[in-house]
């Protein structure tokens, strides 16, 4: 626990770091993990990024926009590049929603998203411009390089059709709670190794829809190819009923093929971290004696 951090904030920060580590521990095809680096980034850089961002993300009393901006700045100071913008955008609202120890994390998050304001948007815009993610480009309305004129929820709603992370702000993080957590819980109940729960979440997102980071940077055709590969791998695993460990070499082979094409399913990885973080927060809130 750092100076000035409450015990509850420290629990949230630890849950965030643990979620990031869990995501790195699984052999996620196309993304950075402990089995293989990629895209000129290493697992060690993602680990340092998680440690750097944890404090700003969980600062008691801070608004969502301020959490985002401070976490992006801390990450750049730690590793000098954008490793975790999508993770920060998703996890800042989750951390803020958990701050007051609600009995219902999803309900608290929905209320929080509805109350985001223009100041949150302006700070988040500054963070996104600072991180300068690949494929950012320029848009006619609510460009992050200009001062915000609408709330963060409204700005995200405008981008929801082209960005799956922005889409979460319009749907109350439905992909996280309805898709990701359901898959995580089912896999955790089936296999003791937490890597396979993480993998189930990641491959599920990868196979459900074209990864929006790939679409923005490399186009729809490449994103569809990755989606089809993930769906085929999931289908093979379901048919065989085998432990995912038996597919590890297949997973790593797909990992090499995706990276050889220069593709990075970053959005699917970001959604995976957010799912693992949300699941840990639910568990924390469930066991707090004064929750609710």
Summarised one tens digit per residue, pLDDT across range 148-187 is: 889 999 999 999 999 999 999 999 999 999 999 999 999 9
* pLDDT value of position 76: 95
How many CB atoms are located within 10 Å of the residue 193 CB?
15
Report the range of poorest mean pLDDT among 110-119, 204-213, 246-255, 266-275. 246-255
What pLDDT is attached to residue 136? 43
Q: Which residues contact 70 (CB under 8 A, 6 or more apart)?
A: 56, 59, 62
User: Is residue 35 a part of any domain in this protein?
Assistant: yes
Q: What is the pLDDT of residues 64-107, one digit of tens each?
A: 999 999 999 999 999 998 899 999 999 999 999 999 999 999 99
The domain that holds 170 is classified in CATH as 1.10.4200.10
Query: Given this model, what pLDDT does residue 247 score?
Result: 84
Tens-place pLDDT, residues 115-158: 999 999 999 999 998 988 654 444 444 456 668 889 999 999 99
User: Is 292 inside a domain boundary?
Assistant: no
Q: Tell me what pLDDT residue 134 has.
A: 54
Q: Is residue 125 part of a domain?
A: yes
Tokens of 122: 């302006």
Residue 108 lies in a domain: yes
Q: Does pLDDT of 3 surpass 80?
A: no
pLDDT at 145: 62
Total number of domains in the chain: 1
pLDDT of residue 138: 47
- Would you say residue 209 lies in a domain? yes
> What pLDDT is stored for residue 235 in this prediction?
84
What confidence score (pLDDT) does residue 1 get?
59
Q: How far apart are CA 212 and CA 265, in angstroms?
A: 8
Q: Does residue 1 fall inside a structural domain?
A: no
Residue 290: C-alpha distances to residues 102, 123, 213 (Å): 9, 32, 40
Q: What residues contact residue 178 under an 8 Å CB cut-off, 6+ apart?
A: none
Q: Does residue 206 lie within any of the structural domains?
A: yes
Question: Which of 113, 116, 142, 118 is CA-nearest to residue 129?
Answer: 142
pLDDT above 90: percentage of residues in the chain: 79
pLDDT value at 58 more than 80: yes
Residue showing tokens 């340092």:
48
Residue 228 lies in a domain: yes
Average pLDDT, the chain: 91
Q: How confident is the model at residue 108 (pLDDT cuts 50, 70, 90)?
A: very high
pLDDT band at residue 290, thresholds of 50, 70 and 90? low
- Give phi and psi for 197, each to the nearest 5: -65, -45
**Is residue 244 very low, low, confident or very high in pLDDT (cuts 50, 70, 90)?**
confident
Structure tokens at 192: 């003791």
Q: Name the pTM for this structure.
A: 0.93
Sign of torsion, CA 227 133 170 271? positive
Structural domain range at position 32:
7-287
């Amino acid at each position: 626990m750092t100076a000035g951090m409450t015990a509850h904030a420290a629990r949230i920060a630890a849950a965030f770091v643990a979620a990031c580590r869990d995501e790195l521990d699984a052999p996620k095809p196309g993304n950075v993990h402990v089995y293989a680096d990629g895209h000129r980034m290493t697992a060690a850089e993602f680990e340092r990024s998680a440690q750097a961002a944890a404090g700003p993300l969980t600062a008691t009393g801070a608004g969502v926009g301020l959490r985002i901006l401070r976490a992006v700045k801390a990450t750049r100071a730690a590793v000098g590049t954008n490793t975790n913008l999508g993770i920060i955008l998703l996890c800042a609202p989750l951390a803020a929603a958990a701050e007051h120890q609600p009995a219902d994390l999803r309900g608290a998050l929905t209320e929080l998203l509805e109350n985001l304001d223009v100041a949150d948007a302006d700070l988040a815009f500054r963070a996104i411009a600072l991180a300068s993610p690949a494929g950012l480009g320029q848009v006619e309305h609510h460009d992050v390089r200009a001062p915000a004129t609408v709330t963060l929820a409204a700005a995200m709603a405008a981008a929801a059709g082209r960005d799956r992370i922005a889409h979460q702000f319009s749907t109350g993080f439905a992909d996280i709670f309805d898709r990701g957590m359901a898959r995580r819980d089912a896999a955790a109940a089936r296999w003791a190794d937490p890597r396979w729960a993480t993998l189930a979440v990641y491959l599920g997102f990868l196979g459900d829809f074209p990864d929006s980071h790939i679409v923005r940077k490399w186009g729809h055709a490449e994103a569809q190819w990755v989606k089809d590969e993930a769906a085929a791998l999931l289908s093979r695993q379901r048919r065989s009923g085998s432990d995912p460990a038996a597919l590890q070499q297949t997973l790593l082979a797909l990992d090499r093929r995706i990276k050889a094409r220069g593709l990075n399913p970053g959005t699917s990885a970001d959604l995976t971290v957010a799912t693992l973080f949300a699941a840990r927060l639910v568990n924390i809130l469930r066991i707090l004696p004064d929750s609710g």
